[in-house]
Amino acid sequence: MCAKSINTAPRTPSPMTDLSTTVAGMGFPNPVMLASGILDETGASMARVIREGAGGVVTKSIGLEPRLGHPNPTVVEVQGGLLNAMGLPNPGMAAYADEIREAKREGEKRGTPVIASIFGANPEDFAILARMAKDAGADGIELNLSCPHAKGLGLEMGQDPLMVRDIMKAAKASSALPIFPKLSPHVNDLEGMAQAAEDGGADGIVVINTLRGMAIDVEARSPVLGNMTGGLSGLAIKPVGLRVVYELYQHTELPIIGVGGIGSGRDALEYIMAGASLVQVGTAILYRGPGACGMVAKELEVELERLGYANVEEAVGAAHEGAGDCGRRIDGERGQ
Ligand SMILES: Cc1cc2nc3c(=O)[nH]c(=O)nc-3n(C[C@H](O)[C@H](O)[C@H](O)COP(=O)(O)O)c2cc1C
């Protein structure tokens, strides 16, 4: 069964495309957001990203207590992207709240939402953090249930559907804000996980976080990262992210926020056609700079106009149109 109706692509170029969009009751000036963990340590850096045209910003993931993170090296460049094992370093929500307030001041000037990313060890932590983020002025909450390199946090919780549901419920009950769990590609039953998020009251789902990987230094005969393994991000993971968004779109009515390897308007459009209503940009900030989200948004506008879409919503899920019954291959095979 197909969960969503399929959009029909317009045939002629559109004279003007409206990039503004509404997801889970939140208005976005454009659908290209800053992903969690990049250029979002301070309110000032998030304000800059907003000024340079991002459609929204997500804070770095914040917990209850200050946390140092993993020993260096924590980031290494690899072919096609980055490997990081930051280990969720952060000053704790009580100290970080001022950064949210500062980003929010800039966001309010431009109608750009600020979403707080939070992590915890149990549903109670998430409930407290969601309330604190709301009090600091966050417009929405992203639940980090997918960090692949922090023991007892992130991915370990995001692989258990009952835990996902309970965390969702707890966060929702303590703040009336839209809440978006961020899931990992390292999940066997994506459909079950989406259902658990929906049962807990999720307003949308963010996919994907980084993929577990490692790099080896042959001279030192050892892993490069201080934590040995880390999370792979950047262009190399785009096909994985697209596949996850595409499959999720077939199984949930919830809006999907796509992230993973997006560095151009064409990349963003691929995610939107796979089923994403919003997208996020992370690693590409490193080579396109703080204006990367704004640049991707402008390029996306050109692509949408060229293909005749009057707005973003018309293009959401468009790739399911030409793929046979509900996006499945006609012969029922998913390929190798
Ligand atoms: C250095 C770095 C730090 C990150 N920190 C976080 C984080 O704190 N919370 C989180 O949910 N994701 C974090 N991520 C994952 C990104 O938000 C994103 O899901 C992932 O990098 C894939 O997107 P990209 O290919 O555009 O970077 C981090 C990624 C990188 C590269």
Could you please report the per-residue DSSP string of 55-117?
A: SEEEPPPB-SS-B--SPSP-EEEETTEEEE-----B--HHHHHHHHHHHHHHHHHHT--EEEE
What angle in degrees, to the nearest 10, is found between the helix axes of 265-274 and 238-249? 30
Three-state DSSP class for residue 117? strand
Tokens representing 281?
């940009």
Residue 12 has what pLDDT?
73
Three-state DSSP class for residue 232? strand
Q: Where are the domains of the chain?
A: 21-327
Q: In what order do the strands lie in the sheet with 211-213?
A: 75-78, 81-84, 230-233, 211-213
User: Quick one: what percent of the chain has pLDDT higher than 90?
Assistant: 83
242 lines ligand 1 (CB under 6 A): no
Tokens representing 129?
């953090």
Comparing 62 with 5, the larger pLDDT belongs to 62
Residue 14 has what pLDDT?
67
CB 324 within 8 A of CB 330: yes
Closest CA to 251 of 4, 10, 22: 4
Dist CA 38 CA 269 (whole Å): 22
154 lines ligand 1 (CB under 6 A): no
> Distance between alpha carbon 40 and the CA centroid of its chain, in Å?
14
Ligand 1 atom 17: the closest Cα is on which residue?
36
What does DSSP assign to residue 10? Answer: P
Residue 330 has what pLDDT?
36
Q: What is the pLDDT of residues 129-145, one digit of tens each?
A: 999 999 999 999 999 99
261 lines ligand 1 (CB under 6 A): yes
Average pLDDT of the chain, as a whole number: 91
Tallying the residues shown for the chain, one arrives at 336
Ligand 1 atom 22: the closest Cα is on which residue?
260
Report, at the CATH architecture level, how domain 21-327 is classified. Answer: Alpha-Beta Barrel (3.20)
Residue 71 burial by Cβ neighbours in a 10 Å radius (0-12, 13-18, 19+): exposed
35 lines ligand 1 (CB under 6 A): yes
Q: What is the pLDDT of residues 206-257, one digit of tens each?
A: 999 999 999 999 999 999 999 999 999 999 999 999 999 999 999 999 999 9
Of 33, 38, 126, 240, the residue with max ligand 1 atoms within 8 A of its CB, to mutate for a pocket test, comes to 38
Q: How many CA atoms lie within 13 A of 292 on its CB side?
A: 25
Residue 108 has what pLDDT?
98
Active-site positions read 147
